[in-house]
């Protein structure tokens, strides 16, 4: 039975055609009629389609009759491409025996290709390269195959050369999967062990848990236990994950991928990475699960309308259900009221969560500048993890501060090496080395402080390399650093939500820049508003928003009244959306003004 | 009680670049429009009225047809003997002959759309007349017997400077009108100005220009009685005051608004539909609460303010604390700062 199952993922650098290939495979196996085919079927989140990226891992079961005449079940587990979502990738990979490594025949290997490959190797997966986009005039499949063999060190001569876009040669990928990816080797008679790799909340069935059964089986009526949380439930339904939705099945056996529903009401009871076992015949030990990921970037998220605090909490809980890497805890800000300090894997992850909160839950948010986690050594000998600048102890009580450093690899055409190295130097980078991938491209290796890359590094990288640079990083450790807290005062009042921690050397420049940005985003008000940037008690920059001189409708006669009333209403609405900080009304965008500060 | 009558003439020689009123340079439907308008006027036979205002557009582009409209108004409505009867005129569209006929027909107030006495500014606004023509029109009006004339001027228009406003105001002084409307330019969506890059005075210069204008007109004996309106004592535009004091008025013609029986009606903007008999396409019931709010939103536009007996106390006190309003002799009215920032006040009453 297991002999006919193949569980695999597709890994790729962003834009190399992973989702398009997935679409073609679905089409070829006939689970989706071509006419019903929506582009990028697995990316069914609106945001994923718009941005052309995969955020969430997703699984789908395909039936395929191979050339050997046998019927196979192929479980394809889609993975995100971006570095921020390595965690999701890791979850997907743990449920598979193999992975297709898709590489763009024109672009070649990119930073994330490598990162994802190493992840897959960590999980002992069989890695099968696929050369995509061979229809492009600039395609160089032989060259790329050479790159794969040289840089990654896996044979690639057999790799299918395909165009997922045109469908060229895609059927060979299915045969390739059947022939080369190992069948699962679970023990159906052993105590049940199944890995949770995703979950979501259904308002009728409760939490739906996505699992890969490793040993034993799961069927309706069985009493199951989640080994990490210890919670027990009776299985109500089991089934497969079809492209069109779920399809119930009598049992899920070793090697299979599917879902279970067990009237689970509480999101917290099911943890992605946990092991499901039979409560009456439990497995002696759990599956390894996943490495717990620690958020790298934190920011405060507040409802624009304070009354929506409860809604925000509920939304975060729902998102956390299938995004275990999202952390949040309540915090309060003098300027913004009640909200949450949220932890993310990276900047993109942060942006995605913000957008999902706004779109899927219809919330209006104010977010504060992102921060990394600093380790503060106090004079009293304590070590504090500080992710909110407001909580930084006074200088007099601080012995020293350490900040996180990442190991970063930037793949870039040689023409841009100078520009990118300049950028890295500006961001306090420590040059480690550079290797040429071929005569036209280089891999630049730097150590960079994480706090220098969480603002706009990615944008700067793209703009200074005309979009050609790719970037990947991982946390390396903490080093001692001269950091200061920069405060912003509006009309003399400190705005806690605008404070942030910055390296001494760039504090002045940053302070000036933020004051300028704030001047642009704060509208004129009835009185003059001084904007000041300060370190400790010392003012290092000052700008002024001049008092509003004029705001009056010159004309209002009989025919105008209705229209003029509407104008005033609109103006009033705009005013309502602003945050009152002390005496000053601050638009939501101002809190984000500190984010985009690249000098270019 | 006698009502105000507003009549809209939606035709111009050509549309100015900043204009978002209902008007057109296409005169093909003019004759039919006048007939339809006269029919609508006749519907109000017997109604008492004490102010009439024929505006536009440019009523004077109608030529002798305008006299027909004026006569129709006189026949249909029962005009008080003291009725204020205003017609708007573009200096580029009048001659002594037409002005005399208007005066003879009963028009006793003329509103001249001068906008500026600087030819550069006039050109930038897309006006059809020159500064000299504007002066000529004024003098002809005087000669035709008009002893109550308004001059419209515009502030903060492209290329305007404090110096150029001074020279325009000097020319106004020379004319010595009974009434001046001085409007700050509003860039309205849907007008050519909205999409153009304009050389406009900055906010500070704009205010300097306004303050200078207020002081200058005051020195001529023209007191500001509303945000943009200035008059010699006794020459305040009674018709316009009705709008700000919630008195009833009847609007006739396309795009004209009426306020009667607690309802505001606005006629269709489409000339062809109007000719085919279509009337109002918007009707808004103004309930007691809304009327009370409008009393402040509109009434506070005037210098004398609103007679005050404790309504919206908290709001009013807040605005007084901000230095935007002032209480005096049982009235509450805008302060100087309030005149600059009127919307901050009006916003509280929508």
Nearest to A571 among B284, B294, B347 (CB): B347
pLDDT at A37 exceeding the cut of 60: no
pLDDT at B17 exceeding the cut of 50: yes
Is pLDDT larger for residue A119 or for residue A527?
A527
Task: Provide the residue count of chain B.
Answer: 350
What is the model's pLDDT at position A202? Answer: 81
Is pLDDT larger for residue A243 or for residue A507?
A507
Do B205 and B337 reside in the same domain of the chain? no
Using an 8 Å CB-CB cutoff, list chain B residues near A565. Answer: 297, 350
Q: Number of helices and strands (H, E) in chain B?
A: 14, 15
pLDDT at B58 exceeding the cut of 90: yes
Cβ distance of A550 and B184 shorter than 8 Å: yes
Cα dist. A212→A199, A223, A240, B221 in Å?
12, 17, 11, 90
Look at residue B98 and tell me if it is in a domain: yes
Do B86 and B156 reside in the same domain of the chain? yes
| Rounded Cα–Cα distance for residues A554 and B184 (Å) | 6
Closest to B347 measured CA to CA, from A526, A553, A569, A551:
A569
What is the model's pLDDT at position A39? Answer: 47
Q: pLDDT tens digits, residue range A299-337?
A: 999 998 888 999 999 999 888 876 767 889 999 988 888
Nearest chain B alpha carbon to A551? B341
pLDDT at A450 exceeding the cut of 80: yes
What is the model's pLDDT at position A85? Answer: 57
Using an 8 Å CB-CB cutoff, list chain A residues near B6. Answer: 558-559
3-state DSSP assignment of residue B211: helix
Q: Check if B251 contacts A (Cβ < 8 Å).
A: yes
Is pLDDT larger for residue B175 or for residue A537?
B175
CA A8 to chain centre: 21
Using an 8 Å CB-CB cutoff, list chain B residues near A558. Answer: 6, 242-243, 249, 251, 256-259
Q: Token pair of A511, please?
A: 């302070």
Look at residue B289 and tell me if it is in a domain: no
Do B16 and B137 reside in the same domain of the chain? yes
| Rounded Cα–Cα distance for residues B147 and B159 (Å) | 33
| Rounded Cα–Cα distance for residues B235 and B157 (Å) | 27
What is the model's pLDDT at position A600? Answer: 40
Q: Which of B223, B243, B263 is the last residue of a domain?
A: B243
Pairing of strands A126-132, A98-104: parallel
pLDDT at A55 exceeding the cut of 60: no
Interface size between A and B, measured as CB pairs under 8 A? 88
Look at residue B248 and tell me if it is in a domain: no
Nearest to B350 among A524, A549, A565 (CB): A565
Using an 8 Å CB-CB cutoff, list chain A residues near B243. Answer: 556-558, 561
Cβ distance of A568 and B297 shorter than 8 Å: yes
Closest to A536 measured CA to CA, from A394, A403, A398:
A394
First-residue to last-residue Cα distance in chain A: 60
Helices (H), A153-254: 171-180
Look at residue B53 and tell me if it is in a domain: yes
pLDDT at A81 exceeding the cut of 60: no
Angle among Cα A563, A566, A572 to the nearest 5 degrees reads 145
DSSP-derived letter for residue A371 is: B
Q: Check if A523 contacts B (Cβ < 8 Å).
A: no
* Percent of chain A whose pLDDT exceeds 90: 45
The phi, psi pair for B349, rounded to 5°, reads -120, 30
Q: What is the arithmetic mean of pLDDT over A35-45?
A: 48
Q: What is the arithmetic mean of pLDDT over A99-118?
A: 85
**By the 8 A CB rule, do A50 and A19 touch?**
no
Q: How many CB atoms lie within 10 A of CB A451?
A: 24
Cβ distance of B341 and A548 shorter than 8 Å: yes
Look at residue B284 and tell me if it is in a domain: no
Report the CATH number that the domain containing residue B229 is assigned in CATH: 3.20.20.70
Q: What is the arithmetic mean of pLDDT over A124-145?
A: 93
What is the model's pLDDT at position A292? Answer: 61
What is the model's pLDDT at position A239? Answer: 94
| Rounded Cα–Cα distance for residues A25 and A22 (Å) | 5
Using an 8 Å CB-CB cutoff, list chain B residues near A524. Answer: 203
Q: Token pair of A451, please?
A: 């706090």
Q: Which of B243, B268, B286 is the last residue of a domain?
A: B243
Work out how many domains chain B is built from and give that number. Answer: 2
First-residue to last-residue Cα distance in chain B: 28
The phi, psi pair for A305, rounded to 5°, reads -105, 115
Look at residue B49 and tell me if it is in a domain: yes
CA B232 to chain centre: 17
Do B231 and B309 reside in the same domain of the chain? no
pLDDT at A41 exceeding the cut of 50: no
What is the model's pLDDT at position A22? Answer: 84
Pairing of strands A327-333, A337-344: antiparallel
Kindly indicate the confidence band of residue B286, based on its pLDDT and cuts at 50, 70 and 90.
very high
Do B29 and B168 reside in the same domain of the chain? yes
Selection from A66-70, A218-222, B185-189 with the highest mean pLDDT: A218-222
| Rounded Cα–Cα distance for residues A597 and A370 (Å) | 13
Q: A537: exposed, middle or buried (C-beta count within 10 Å: 0-12, 13-18, 19+)?
A: exposed
Interface of B with A in 14-33 (CB under 8 A): none
Q: Check if A571 contacts B (Cβ < 8 Å).
A: yes
Kindly indicate the confidence band of residue A40, based on its pLDDT and cuts at 50, 70 and 90.
very low
Cβ distance of B228 and A565 shorter than 8 Å: no
| Rounded Cα–Cα distance for residues A304 and B336 (Å) | 34
Q: Check if A573 contacts B (Cβ < 8 Å).
A: no
**Reported pTM:** 0.68
Do B116 and B13 reside in the same domain of the chain? yes
What is the model's pLDDT at position A293? Answer: 65
pLDDT at B63 exceeding the cut of 60: yes
Do B211 and B313 reside in the same domain of the chain? no
Look at residue B280 and tell me if it is in a domain: no
Do B162 and B94 reside in the same domain of the chain? yes
| Rounded Cα–Cα distance for residues A4 and A99 (Å) | 17
Do B322 and B203 reside in the same domain of the chain? no
Do B335 and B191 reside in the same domain of the chain? no
Closest to B286 measured CA to CA, from B312, B248, B240, B314:
B248
Kindly indicate the confidence band of residue A51, based on its pLDDT and cuts at 50, 70 and 90.
low
Q: What range defines the domain where residue B318 resides?
A: 301-350
| Rounded Cα–Cα distance for residues A461 and A474 (Å) | 17
Is pLDDT larger for residue A511 or for residue A50?
A511
Do B198 and B317 reside in the same domain of the chain? no
Look at residue B345 and tell me if it is in a domain: yes
Q: Token pair of A586, please?
A: 């601050």
Q: pLDDT tens digits, residue range B329-340?
A: 999 999 999 999
Q: pLDDT tens digits, residue range B174-224?
A: 999 999 999 999 888 889 999 999 999 988 899 999 999 999 999 999 999
Cβ distance of B256 and A572 shorter than 8 Å: no
Q: Which of B243, B260, B280 is the last residue of a domain?
A: B243
Cβ distance of B347 and A549 shorter than 8 Å: no
pLDDT at A57 exceeding the cut of 50: no
Q: A102: exposed, middle or buried (C-beta count within 10 Å: 0-12, 13-18, 19+)?
A: buried
What is the model's pLDDT at position A224? Answer: 96
Closest to B63 measured CA to CA, from B97, B25, B36:
B97
Interface of B with A in 317-336 (CB under 8 A): 322
Do B64 and B200 reside in the same domain of the chain? yes
Kindly indicate the confidence band of residue A290, based on its pLDDT and cuts at 50, 70 and 90.
low
Q: pLDDT tens digits, residue range A389-430?
A: 989 998 889 999 999 999 998 988 899 999 999 999 999 999
Kindly indicate the confidence band of residue A288, based on its pLDDT and cuts at 50, 70 and 90.
confident
Cα dist. B40→A374, A375, A586, B76 in Å?
77, 81, 51, 10
pLDDT at A89 exceeding the cut of 70: no
What is the model's pLDDT at position A289? Answer: 66
Q: Which region holds residue B113: left if phi is over 0, alpha if psi is between -120 and 50, else beta? A: beta
| Rounded Cα–Cα distance for residues B115 and A396 (Å) | 66
Using an 8 Å CB-CB cutoff, list chain A residues near B269. Answer: none
Chain B interface, mutation test: which of A554, A560, A564, A570, most B Cβ atoms within 10 Å? A554
Q: Check if A562 contacts B (Cβ < 8 Å).
A: yes
Q: Token pair of B167, please?
A: 């020279």
Q: Check if A68 contacts B (Cβ < 8 Å).
A: no
Is pLDDT larger for residue B140 or for residue A436?
B140
Q: Number of helices and strands (H, E) in chain A?
A: 14, 32
What is the model's pLDDT at position B209? Answer: 95
Q: In A229-250, which positions are buried (b, 16+ CB within 10 angstroms) versus exposed (e)?
A: eebebebebbbbbebeebeebe
Q: A360: exposed, middle or buried (C-beta count within 10 Å: 0-12, 13-18, 19+)?
A: middle
């Amino acid at each position: 039975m297991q002999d006919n199952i193949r569980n695999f993922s597709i890994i790729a650098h962003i834009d190399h055609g992973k989702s398009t290939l997935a679409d073609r495979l679905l089409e070829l196996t006939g689970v989706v009629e071509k006419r019903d085919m929506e582009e990028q079927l697995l990316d069914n989140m609106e945001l994923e389609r718009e941005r052309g990226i995969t955020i969430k891992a997703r699984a789908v079961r395909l039936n395929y009759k191979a050339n050997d005449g046998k019927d196979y079940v192929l479980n394809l587990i889609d993975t995100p491409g971006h570095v921020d979502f390595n965690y999701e990738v890791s979850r997907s990979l743990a449920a598979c025996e193999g992975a297709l490594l898709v590489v763009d025949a024109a672009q070649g290997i990119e930073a994330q290709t490598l990162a994802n490959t190493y992840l897959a190797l960590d999980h002992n997966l069989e890695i099968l390269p696929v050369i995509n986009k061979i229809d492009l005039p600039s395609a160089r499949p032989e060259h790329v195959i050479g790159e794969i063999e040289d840089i990654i060190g896996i044979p690639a001569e057999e790799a299918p050369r395909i165009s997922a876009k045109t469908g060229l040669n895609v059927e060979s990928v299915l045969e390739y999967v059947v022939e080369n990816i190992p069948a699962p080797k679970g023990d159906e008679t052993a105590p049940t062990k199944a890995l949770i790799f995703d979950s979501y909340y259904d308002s009728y069935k409760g939490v739906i848990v996505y699992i890969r059964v490793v040993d034993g089986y799961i069927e309706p009526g069985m009493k199951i236990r989640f080994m990490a949380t210890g919670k027990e439930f009776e299985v109500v339904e089991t089934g497969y994950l079809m492209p069109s939705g779920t399809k119930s099945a009598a049992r899920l056996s070793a090697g299979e991928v599917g879902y279970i529903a067990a009237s689970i009401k509480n999101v917290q009871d099911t943890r992605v990475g946990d092991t499901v076992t039979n409560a009456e015949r439990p497995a002696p030990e759990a599956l390894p699960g996943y490495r717990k990921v620690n958020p790298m970037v934190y920011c405060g998220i507040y409802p624009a309308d304070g009354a929506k605090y409860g809604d925000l909490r509920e939304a975060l809980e729902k998102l956390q259900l299938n995004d275990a890497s999202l952390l949040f805890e309540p915090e309060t800000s003098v300027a913004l009221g009640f909200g949450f300090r949220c932890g993310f894997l990276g900047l993109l992850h942060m942006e995605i969560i913000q957008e999902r909160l706004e779109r899927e839950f219809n919330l209006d948010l104010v977010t504060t500048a992102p921060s990394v986690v600093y380790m503060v050594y106090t004079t009293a000998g304590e070590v504090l993890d500080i992710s909110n600048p407001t909580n930084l102890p006074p200088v007099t009580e601080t012995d020293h501060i350490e900040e996180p450093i990442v190991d970063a690899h930037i793949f870039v055409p040689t023409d841009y090496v100078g520009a990118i190295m300049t950028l890295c130097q500006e961001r306090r980078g420590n040059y480690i080395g550079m290797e040429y991938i071929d005569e036209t491209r280089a891999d630049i290796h730097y150590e960079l402080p994480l706090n220098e890359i969480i603002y706009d590094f990615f944008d700067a990288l793209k703009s200074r390399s005309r979009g050609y640079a790719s970037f990947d990083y991982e946390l390396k450790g903490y080093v001692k650093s001269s950091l200061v807290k920069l405060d912003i005062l509006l009309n003399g009042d400190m705005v806690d939500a605008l404070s942030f921690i910055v390296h001494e050397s760039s504090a002045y420049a940053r302070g000036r820049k933020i004051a300028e940005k704030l001047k642009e985003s704060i509208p004129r008000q009835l009185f003059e508003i001084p904007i000041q940037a300060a370190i400790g008690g010392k003012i290092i920059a000052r700008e002024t928003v001049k008092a509003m001189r004029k705001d009056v409708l010159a004309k209002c006669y009989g025919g105008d009244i209705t229209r003029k009333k509407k104008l005033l209403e609109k103006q009033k609405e705009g005013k309502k959306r602003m945050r009152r900080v002390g005496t000053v009304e601050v638009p939501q965008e101002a809190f984000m003004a500190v984010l985009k500060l690249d000098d270019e | 009680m006698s009502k105000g009558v507003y009549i809209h003439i939606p035709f111009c020689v050509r549309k100015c670049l900043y204009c978002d009123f209902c008007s057109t340079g296409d005169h093909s439907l003019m004759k039919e429009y006048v007939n339809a308008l006269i029919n609508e006027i006749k519907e109000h036979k017997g109604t008492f009225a004490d102010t009439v205002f024929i505006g536009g557009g440019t009523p004077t582009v109608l030529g002798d047809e305008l006299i027909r409209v004026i006569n129709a108004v006189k026949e249909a409505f029962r005009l008080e003997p003291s009725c204020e009867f205003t017609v708007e005129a573009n200096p580029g569209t009048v001659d002594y002959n037409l002005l005399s006929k208007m005066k003879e027909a009963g028009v006793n107030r003329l509103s001249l759309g001068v906008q500026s006495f600087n030819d550069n500014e006039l050109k930038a606004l897309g006006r059809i007349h020159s500064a000299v023509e504007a002066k000529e029109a004024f003098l002809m009006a005087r000669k035709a017997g008009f002893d109550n004339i308004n001059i419209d001027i515009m502030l903060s228009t492209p290329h305007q400077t404090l110096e150029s406003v001074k020279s325009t105001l000097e020319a106004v002084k020379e004319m010595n009108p009974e009434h001046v409307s001085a409007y700050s330019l509003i860039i309205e969506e849907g007008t050519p100005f909205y999409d153009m890059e304009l050389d406009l005075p900055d906010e500070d210069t704009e205010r300097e220009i306004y303050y200078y204008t207020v002081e200058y007109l005051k020195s001529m004996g023209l007191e500001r009685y509303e945000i943009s309106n200035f008059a010699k004592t006794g020459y305040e535009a009674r018709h316009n005051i009705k709008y700000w004091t919630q008195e009833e008025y009847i609007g006739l013609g396309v795009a004209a608004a009426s306020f009667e029986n607690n309802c505001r009606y606005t006629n269709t903007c489409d000339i062809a539909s109007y000719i085919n008999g279509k009337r109002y396409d918007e009707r808004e019931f103004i309930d007691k609460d809304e009327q009370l709010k409008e009393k402040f939103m509109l009434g506070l536009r005037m210098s004398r303010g609103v007679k005050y007996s404790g309504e919206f106390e908290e709001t009013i006190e807040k605005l007084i604390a901000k230095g935007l309003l002032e209480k005096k002799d049982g009235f509450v009215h805008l302060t100087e700062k309030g005149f600059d920032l009127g919307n901050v006040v009006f916003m509280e009453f929508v």
